[in-house]
């Protein structure tokens, strides 16, 4: 089969990409579109470093086939905070010292963003559950959870 | 991943036609949370597919619908997140909501489908024991027409089902719950999330009109046999007997005998058997207290 053309909107910007059926959405976003904020940790859906929001649903883009994103609206970390300035969730992570090496953080922020848009005032338990699919090898999570609580406050949830 | 072709049909008819046209070597794909990982890592119990047919958006597989007098029609491509959030599932088939809730992370639950969970046929599949105790039937469509099977007859072994080439699991049908009945599912895992069941237990109990004796009972066990299984002998010990702690305890001991677990990284056979006893008793108690609350 020749490559197939897909159209997708990433962070509000339209793209047309020719993809192989076995390419993941993560591959397309990083290697073709060139947005490298999303990371590949495991490649098998276990770590959450590649988290994106596709048509309103948080997914692990490393096991989400690019062809299935044809026509989709995609939000990556670059669509949450960027050159315009930090998103309040990112600001809270900085203020709480929730970042060490940083590799897991884009995925954490996207997952936290997805949580706060559905549940603006989550409890600690709800945060732990919502972020269970995001692994961090550095921080021990406590400061990450504190940062999400703080972000909820900052965002006036 | 090695190359494969990919088809995204617009209807079930078209999907079945693709399997006919393309011949052997094709597989359905739904959320891909098992299949894509297996194609990346190996670990699939079938030859590397030549082509995949996406079923995750087929309208026939996307239904989640209560039909008066018939029960629940649960499309194979309904996701774990959708099941868990469904008021009708929570209200009438709580064990299923409890099974769907523990599958992976939020990310996984947004992609993973109930049909994929069943067709992947892991002995530990978290929606299998709930669906077994809820009396599920599987509706399958393929080149030879339609088949409607009790879910018990669907699983053949680890990673193996009755599905043949070109067949698609369309939906699962659940009968309406009996009066004074309830269900429950629990699994044991070292971690609360992102883990695979060491043992999973589901139970369904219906009480008689006086609310004293057990009118119907079903128990299903995950991760303790080559497929998810019913514990028929334990169930038989419950039916017609008073809903007392002693009777539930007897059934739990029998369920232990019915399990045939193996030892692996998640636990020894002995530990699993022990867990079946403890957990069956607890899950029966939970189902009983829920049934009494109705
Ligand atoms: C990080 C992670 C955590 C997980 N945690 C759990 C867990 O806690 N509990 C658990 O039970 N599972 C877990 N899983 C496994 C997986 O998510 C589930 O089994 C899921 O329900 C599979 O559904 P899917 O739609 O992704 O299936 P797919 O991967 O799309 O398909 C699985 C198999 O079923 C076949 N298939 C799919 N749909 C159909 C159909 N309609 N008709 C015929 N054949 C079909 C495919 O050919 C394939 O062989 C986890 C997976 C990941 C990646
Ligand atoms: S890279 Fe996708 S979940 Fe780990
Ligand atoms: S900060 Fe290093 S992995 Fe999370």
Domain match, A65 and A123 both: no
Q: Whose CA is nearest to atom 4 of ligand 3?
A: A136
Number of domains in chain A: 2
Domain match, A86 and A122 both: yes
pLDDT number for residue A83? 76
What residues in chain A have per-residue pLDDT under 70?
none
Domain match, A116 and A128 both: yes
Q: Tell me: the pLDDT tens digits for B139-175?
A: 999 999 999 999 999 999 999 999 999 999 999 999 9
Separation between Cα atoms, residue B185 and residue B251, nearest integer Å = 16
Residue of A nearest to B50 (CA): A1
Q: Tell me whether B265 touches chain A (CB under 8 Å).
A: no
Given a contact cutoff of 8 angstroms between Cβ atoms, the answer to whether B114 and B78 are in contact is yes
Given a contact cutoff of 8 angstroms between Cβ atoms, the answer to whether A59 and A105 are in contact is no
Mutate to test the interface with B, among A2, A19, A22 (most CBs of B within 10 A): A22
Q: Tell me whether B192 touches chain A (CB under 8 Å).
A: yes
Separation between Cα atoms, residue B14 and residue B21, nearest integer Å = 10
pLDDT averages per 10-residue partition of chain B, 294 residues: 96 98 97 98 90 98 96 98 98 98 98 98 98 98 97 97 98 97 97 92 98 98 98 98 98 97 94 97 98 92
* Facing A44 at nearest CB: one of B8, B29, B37: B37
Q: Is the pTM of this model over 0.95?
A: yes
All domains in chain B, ordered by first residue = 5-54 (3.30.43.10), 59-174 (3.30.465.10), 181-291 (3.30.390.50)
Domain match, A92 and A143 both: yes
pLDDT number for residue B42? 87
**CATH code, domain carrying A133:** 1.10.150.120
Domain match, A53 and A73 both: yes
**CATH code, domain carrying A46:** 3.10.20.30
Task: Tell me which of A79, A109, A136 is where a domain ends.
Answer: A79
For chain B, helix (H) and strand (E) counts, in that order, are 11, 14
Domain match, A68 and A106 both: no
Residues in chain A: 157
Separation between Cα atoms, residue A154 and residue B253, nearest integer Å = 54
- Ligand with smallest separation from the Cα of B111: 1
Contact A44 B32 (CB under 8 A): no
Separation between Cα atoms, residue B117 and residue B202, nearest integer Å = 16
Task: Tell me which of A46, A61, A79 is where a domain ends.
Answer: A79
Q: Tell me whether A111 touches chain B (CB under 8 Å).
A: yes
Given a contact cutoff of 8 angstroms between Cβ atoms, the answer to whether B281 and B246 are in contact is no
Task: Tell me which of A79, A110, A141 is where a domain ends.
Answer: A79
A129 Cα: distance to centroid of ligand 1 (angstroms) = 21
Residue of A nearest to B56 (CA): A68
B53 Cα: distance to centroid of ligand 1 (angstroms) = 15
Q: Whose CA is nearest to atom 49 of ligand 1?
A: B120
Q: Is A97 in the pocket of ligand 3 (CB under 6 A)?
A: no
Percent helix, strand and coil across chain B, each rounded to 5?
35, 25, 35
Contact B111 A64 (CB under 8 A): yes
Domain match, A43 and A8 both: yes
Domain match, A72 and A118 both: no
Domain match, A70 and A108 both: no
Separation between Cα atoms, residue B157 and residue B159, nearest integer Å = 6
Domain match, A40 and A16 both: yes
Structural domain that includes position A105: 82-154
Domain match, A36 and A14 both: yes
Domain match, A86 and A73 both: no
């Amino acid at each position: 089969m020749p490559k197939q053309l897909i159209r997708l909107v990433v962070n509000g910007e339209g793209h047309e990409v020719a993809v192989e059926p076995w390419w993941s959405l993560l591959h397309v976003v990083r290697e073709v579109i060139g947005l490298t904020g999303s990371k590949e940790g495991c490649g098998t859906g276990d770590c959450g470093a590649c988290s994106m929001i596709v048509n309103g649903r948080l997914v692990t883009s490393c096991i989400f086939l690019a062809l299935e994103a044809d026509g989709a609206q995609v939000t990556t970390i670059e669509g949450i905070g960027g050159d315009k300035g930090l998103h309040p969730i990112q600001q809270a992570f900085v203020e709480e010292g929730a970042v060490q090496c940083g590799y897991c953080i884009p995925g954490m922020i996207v997952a936290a963003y997805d949580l706060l848009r559905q549940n603006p005032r989550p409890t600690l338990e709800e945060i732990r559950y919502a972020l269970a699919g995001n692994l961090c090898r550095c921080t021990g999570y406590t400061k990450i959870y504190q940062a999400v609580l703080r972000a909820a406050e900052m965002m006036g949830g | 991943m090695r190359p494969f072709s990919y088809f995204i049909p617009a209807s079930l008819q078209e999907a079945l036609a693709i399997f006919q046209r393309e011949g052997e070597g094709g597989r359905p794909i739904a959320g891909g949370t098992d299949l894509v990982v297996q194609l990346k890592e190996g670990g699939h119990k079938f030859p590397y597919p030549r082509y995949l047919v996406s079923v995750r958006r087929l309208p026939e597989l996307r239904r989640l619908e209560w039909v008066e007098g018939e029960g629940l029609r649960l499309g194979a491509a309904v996701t774990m997140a959708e099941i868990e959030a469904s008021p009708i599932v929570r209200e009438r088939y709580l064990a299923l909501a409890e099974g769907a809730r523990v599958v992976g992370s939020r990310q996984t639950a947004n992609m993973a489908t109930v049909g994929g969970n069943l067709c992947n046929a892991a002995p530990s599949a978290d929606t299998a024991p709930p669906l077994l105790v809820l009396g599920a039937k599987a509706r399958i469509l393929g080149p030879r027409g339609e088949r409607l099977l009790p879910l018990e007859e669907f699983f053949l072994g680890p990673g193996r089902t009755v599905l043949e080439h070109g067949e698609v699991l369309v939906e699962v049908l659940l009968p309406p719950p009996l009066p004074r009945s309830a269900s429950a599912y629990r699994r044991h895992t070292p971690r609360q999330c992102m883990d695979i069941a060491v043992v999973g237990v589901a139970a369904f109990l219906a009480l008689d009109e006086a609310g004293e004796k057990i009118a119907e009972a079903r128990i299903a066990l995950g991760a303790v046999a080559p497929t998810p299984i019913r514990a028929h002998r334990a169930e038989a010990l419950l039916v017609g007997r008073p809903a007392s702690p002693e009777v539930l305890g007897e059934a739990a001991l029998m369920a232990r005998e019915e399990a045939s677990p193996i030892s692996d990284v998640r636990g020894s056979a002995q530990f699993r058997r022990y867990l079946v006893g403890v957990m069956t008793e607890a899950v029966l108690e939970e189902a009983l207290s829920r049934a009494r609350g109705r």
